[in-house]
Structure 1
Amino acid sequence: MPVMHFHVRWPDQSETRCYSPSLVVQDFLTPGQAYELPDFLGRTREALGIASERVRAKFGFACSQAMDQLGEIEHIAARFADRPDARVTVLGFD
């Protein structure tokens, strides 16, 4: 399966390189786009869930790395949960 990474900038201007075991994340996120935090979380949950299920379909087991990545994204996002104007910017894919 084609692995990809996506880079995001958080509301505090820190950046994270995120992992996906599938290119499906490109269907949910657009480079240069800033998403409201709840929208970003919903999109990444769905994209990484689909990616993990694609791994299951091909190899017979879900992708633990995708779920670990989602956990890290949710952990970082929790720091900004009390900020109604919090936005996450997708910087790009590689």
Structure 2
Amino acid sequence: MPEIRFQIELPDGSQEVCYSPSLVVRQYFEEGSEYPLTDFVERSRTALNIASDRVKAKYGFSCSLAIGQLRQIETMATKYAKLPDPKVRLIRFIEN
């Protein structure tokens, strides 16, 4: 199963690299695009749950790395939720 990482820029300008066990995230994000924080979290939730389900279908168990990544994104979002109009930019996809 091809995995992928995606580099994001957070509302404060810091950057993070996120993980997905599936290329499905490419269907939900576009390189260079900026997303309102809540939209970014929702897209991440959908994509990473699909990715985890694909792992489960293939191997019989959910992907703990995908679920862990989603939890990190959700936790990060709470940090920036009170900012006026917080945005997250997807800088690039990093394929292995």
- Using structure 2 for the length normalisation, give the TM-score: 0.96
Q: 2:77 corresponds to which letter in structure 1?
A: A
**Structure 2 residue 71 is matched with structure 1 residue 71:** yes
Count matched residues. 94
Give deviations 1:59-86, integer Å, cap 9, x for gaps: 0000000000001111111111112310
4+ aligned runs moved over 2 Å, structure 1? none
Aligned 1:3-82 pairs, distance under 5 A? 3-82=3-82
Q: 2-side partners of 1:54 and 1:85: how far apart?
A: 33
Instruction: List alignment gaps of at least 5 residues for structure 2.
Output: none
Over the matched positions of the two proteins, sequence identity in percent amounts to 48
Q: 2:93 corresponds to which letter in structure 1?
A: F
Instruction: List alignment gaps of at least 5 residues for structure 1.
Output: none
Query: More deviation in 14-23 or 78-87?
Result: 78-87
Q: 2-side partners of 1:84 and 1:64: how far apart?
A: 33
Q: CA RMSD in A?
A: 0.6
